[in-house]
Chains A and B, each alone.
Chain A
């Protein structure tokens, strides 16, 4: 495990706990993510990795411990929470583009309504972002007219438009057809290269190998391993991780 200076962490989870009824989904989670770091969270389904990701911008509440972003503890509700969320980009498994807004509006809505950016500027920035993720020509269309891969790239542009300090990806390719997965991963790899701080929950081991600085392996609500991709894939320490990897690699 790499060592961190505490003040250095952009995202910091300390002794985070959460239950769903009887189920203890997050058990004493401690995780520090430094600026510019790409952390890939993997693990079997039900291990709590999505819950962890969603807790970081408080789409899931937590019962114990603290989560802080850039030194500020995540507030419970209200204006401060909204402000903090604006600094944390989120990309969902099911894209969640605003169904009644055009692709361009999906990207400009946040900057205009939340940050008060002038429409002209927001439109220009949004077009640049859409070009960057390769869907510029789709700007006037509605989300339902785009393929899944295109929608997910728009969702990434929408999150980037807020100029976030950190991007969270909650299984961004799990709802995609196989031939569309790469177009989304390519955008994410590019983003990682440009130095964006990213926390990515995924089953794409190729992405983890290629772009991750660290792999965090979760099982049964706990962080079981936290290592470099090299270390994790070639020499997993825990039996749980060995078991998980063997299942992946036999097919």
Chain B
């Protein structure tokens, strides 16, 4: 236990880094994912096709591949970053966006088709139908699965530790290397700080689920 208490500042630092990675990637993924879902249900075939291919490719390949692309392939294509953190954010947000797109799409599909027909009948265009009628109703059913995806994102951010980004897991690895006799407490400490992020998210998910059920 001493090893955790002694290195508390380091843990805290790692915790904040993980929080930062998760929040930034999460926000980007939410925006990108919602746009992808909108493209998926749009009347434009090219947008639907792009969104489908994007989602299927990212959702069905390991996150590590996304990281390799962002950290190694992108720089070779001329996209250079000052820090690996940027690559980590790109990998995490593009990967997570695919899952968010699927969740939002299923939410959109859960809204009865008559809602969109009624909205179109009073002369709304595609954007208005989506923004004023479909998404507000879809988001209520989508919030619990979205939070699950964000929990996965927090955990997935640990992959960044393997790509030279010092976040919670990265610091944990350093500590484990430095304290060969106390690897188990070190890792328990890491787990504890992850739980500090993910457990409140889980509680939030179940609270929201109870509150936003929509009456039909």
A→B interface (CB under 8 Å):
57, 59, 77-79, 82-83, 85-90, 92, 94, 96-100, 109-110, 113-115, 142, 144-145, 155, 158-159, 161-162
Identify which of A57, A88, A90, A109 contacts B132 (C-beta below 8 A): A109
A78 to B43: give the CA distance in the assembly, Å: 10
A94-B137 CB under 8 A given contacts A82-B124, A99-B216, A162-B123: no
A92-B123 CB under 8 A given contacts A98-B133, A99-B215, A142-B215: no
B7 contacts the other chain (Cβ, under 8 Å)?
no
B→A interface (CB under 8 Å):
43, 112, 114-115, 117-125, 128, 132-133, 136-137, 140, 214-216
A99-B137 CB under 8 A given contacts A92-B114, A94-B114, A113-B128: yes
A124 to chain B, nearest CB (A): 18
Are B216 and A114 in contact, CB atoms less than 8 angstroms apart?
no
List A contacts of B123 (CB < 8 A).
82-83, 85-87, 110, 114-115, 162
Are A90 and B121 in contact, CB atoms less than 8 angstroms apart?
yes
List B contacts of A109 (CB < 8 A).
122, 132
Q: For A83, A89, A110, which residue has the most chain B Cβ atoms within 10 angstroms?
A: A110
B107 to chain A, nearest CB (A): 13
Residue of A nearest to B43 (CB): A77
A196 to chain B, nearest CB (A): 16
Number of A-B contacts (CB under 8 A): 74
List B contacts of A86 (CB < 8 A).
122-123
A109 to B115: give the CA distance in the assembly, Å: 13
Are A113 and B132 in contact, CB atoms less than 8 angstroms apart?
yes
Are A82 and B215 in contact, CB atoms less than 8 angstroms apart?
no
* 15 sample A-B contacts, Cβ–Cβ < 8 Å, listed by A number: A59-B117, A59-B120, A78-B125, A85-B121, A86-B123, A90-B121, A94-B112, A96-B114, A98-B118, A99-B115, A100-B214, A110-B123, A113-B132, A114-B122, A114-B124
